Amino acid sequence: MPIQLALVGAAHIHTPGFVKRLQARSDVRVTRVWDHQIERAQRWAAELEARPTAELTQVWEDPAIAGVIICAETNRHAELVLPAAAAGKHLFVEKPLGIGAIDAAQMAAAIDAAGVIFQTGYFMRGQPVYLFLREQIARGAFGKITRVRHANCHAGSLKRWFDAGWLWMTDPAQAGVGAFGDLGTHSLDLLLWLMGDVTRVTAAMDVAVANYGATDEFGEGLMVFACGAVGSLAAGWVDVANPVTLEISGTAGHAYVRDGELYFQSEHVDGATGVAPWTALPAAWPHAFELFLDAVTGQPDIPLVTAQEAAVRSAVMEAFYTAAKDQTWVTL
């Protein structure tokens, strides 16, 4: 029998993609859909052939529902995650986990205490280029890494992508962030996953065309890692192109990703001259949402993002915004 799930909140721009993934699988089935906007719940319930529900207790108290998918506005996460964890439901929570450090840490503690499966939407980890580079960093192929940079930018504000039902994502009161935090959280996850903890951060953000009022549309963050490397992060909704997404520089190697191709140079790896694209890459992981469904259906050894990792990313992103507002460095 398919594992029963509930969709709790359907506000996020990735909801349609997740619904398609759910429809494509026979081992899971969404049986209930809730949203604080009943029309939205009815719409996605019809898509999933599920029952719309106005009462969350019908989800929490249903023993047949093994897990929930939370795609609500970020400022509503805590009021949904905490009772779901208390009810023993497995949790996919669309990123970011929290508005900031306090609510994210509270949710992570509750999730860990409940012992349920957790996952969030950091899908970039599973791309072959990043899997390969993480392995090479661990092997010392770069020597001492001195600087890293990741960029995650698109033209969402220029093309007004959020107008079609996703305007809450441009409201920091509901989303907690603007463009820098929305796309930058993916870059931040990768940089922390590759390099480890950061000790202090600063940032600058601004508005370019003001298509969404005073919400930041682009930004740059600077961070110092515990290992001593300096990292930078670019994110925004006003880029017409974003060809170079990653750069790693060390005393024995260098790598950059341009238009999806990796150029890799290392004194310690045969053939790594950096002249031509490096193609000897591992297989990609399934999408982060698919990994959650795999774990919930009992597949072993699934590489998931931990709740504590998700909470750290919310805390660091909050520190970036504090640093930009105060025009200073913030220590973590």
The CATH fold of domain 3-120: Rossmann fold (3.40.50)
pLDDT at residue number 256: 98
**Each residue's pLDDT tens digit, 20-72:** 999 999 999 999 999 999 999 999 999 999 999 999 999 999 999 999 999 99
Q: List strand residue ranges (DSSP E) for 96-209, in order.
A: 118-120, 145-153, 198-206
pLDDT band at 288 (very low <50, low <70, confident <90, very high): very high
Query: What residues does each domain of the chain span?
Result: 3-120, 128-283
> Of 24, 33, 43, whose CA–CA distance to 6 is shortest?
33
Phi/psi of residue 29, nearest 5 degrees: -150, 130
Sheet with 118-120, edge to edge strand ranges: 51-52, 28-34, 3-10, 65-71, 90-93, 118-120
Residue type, 152: N
Q: Which two tokens stand for residue 195?
A: 């390099």
Q: Which two tokens stand for residue 249?
A: 């520089």
pLDDT at residue number 209: 98
Q: Which two tokens stand for residue 9?
A: 């909140």
Task: Kindly state the greatest CA–CA separation across the chain.
Answer: 61
| Stated length of the chain | 332
Partners of residue 246 on adjacent β-strands: 150, 257
pLDDT at residue number 294: 98
pTM score, whole prediction: 0.97
Q: Are 253 and 239 in contact (CB under 8 A)?
A: no
Q: Are 68 and 6 in contact (CB under 8 A)?
A: yes
pLDDT at residue number 5: 98
> Of 288, 319, 328, 14, whose CA–CA distance to 177 is shortest?
319
CATH architecture observed for domain 128-283: 2-Layer Sandwich (3.30)
Q: What percent of the chain has pLDDT over 70?
A: 100
